[in-house]
Amino acid sequence: MSSQTPSATALHSVALYSAAAEALAAMLPANSSVEAVPFTGARGELLKLTAGETVGASFVGQPSAEVALQVNAELLGAGEQRRSARFSTADLLRPALEASTAVLGAGVLSTQNAPSAQALLEDPETVCFELRVSGENAGFFAMRLRDNAQVQPAAETGAPAPLEDIASRLGRINNVDMSLTVEIGRTRMSVRDVLGLEPGAVVELDRSAGAPADILLNGRLIAQGEVVVMDQDYGVRITQILDVDGGPA
- In terms of domains, do 104 and 15 share one? yes
Rounded Cα–Cα distance for residues 238 and 60 (Å): 26
Residue ranges in the chain assigned as alpha helix (H): 14-27, 46-49, 73-76, 80-83, 89-102, 117-122, 153-157, 163-171, 191-195
Q: Is the pLDDT of residue 246 over 70?
A: no
At 128, is the pLDDT very low, low, confident or very high (cuts 50, 70, 90)? very high
- Same domain for 112 and 50, yes or no, is yes
Domain-ending residue, one of 128, 149, 170: 149
CATH number of domain containing 240: 2.30.330.10
Question: Does residue 60 carry a pLDDT above 70?
Answer: yes
Assigned domain for 169 exists: no
Give 94's contacts (C-beta < 8 A, 6+ positions apart): 55, 57, 109, 111
Q: Are residues 98 and 37 in the same domain?
A: yes
Q: Are residues 96 and 137 located together in one domain of the fold?
A: yes
> pTM for the full model?
0.59
pLDDT digits (tens, 9 = 90+) for 12-41: 578 889 999 999 999 887 777 899 999 888
Q: Is residue 157, in this structure, part of any structural domain at all?
A: no
Same domain, 92 and 135: yes
In this prediction, residue 94 has a pLDDT band, given cuts at 50, 70 and 90, of: confident
Same-domain pairing of 136 and 198 = no
User: Can you give the CATH number for the domain in which 72 is found?
Assistant: 3.40.1550
What would the mean pLDDT of 197-216 be, rounded to a whole number?
89
What pLDDT, on a 0 to 100 scale, did the predictor assign at position 160? 52
With respect to residue 159, please indicate whether it lies within any of the assigned structural domains.
no
Number of folded domains in the chain?
2
Q: Per mean pLDDT, which range of 61-65, 78-82, 241-245 is the poorest?
A: 78-82
Residue 130 lies in a domain: yes
Residue 172 banded pLDDT, cuts 50, 70, 90: low
pLDDT of residue 66: 92
Which amino acid, 211?
Answer: A
Asked if residue 108 and residue 58 are part of one domain, the reply reads yes
Q: What is the pLDDT of residue 212?
A: 92
Please compute the mean of the pLDDT values over residues 189-215 and round it to a whole number.
88
User: How many CA within 13 A on the CB side of residue 122?
Assistant: 5
Residue 167 within a domain: no
For residue 6, is pLDDT > 60? no
How many other CB atoms sit within 10 Å of the CB of residue 2?
Answer: 5
Residue 165 resides in a domain? no
The pLDDT of residue 177 is 67
Whether residue 216 lies inside any domain: the answer is yes
Residue 249 has pLDDT above 70, yes or no: no
Q: Same domain for 145 and 185?
A: no
Q: By CB neighbour count within 10 A (0-12 exposed, 13-18 middle, 19+ buried), where does 65 fall? A: buried
Mean pLDDT of the chain: 77
Domain of 199, in residue numbers: 178-249
CA–CA gap between residue 221 and residue 186 (Å, rounded): 14
Q: Are residues 134 and 199 in the same domain?
A: no
Residues 91 and 17 in one domain: yes
Of 133, 149, 165, at which residue does a domain stop? 149
Pairwise pLDDT comparison (203 vs 147), residue with the higher score: 203
**Could you tell me if residue 4 is inside a domain?**
no
Same domain, 107 and 199: no
Same domain, 234 and 123: no
Handedness of CA 16, 20, 25, 26 (dihedral sign): positive
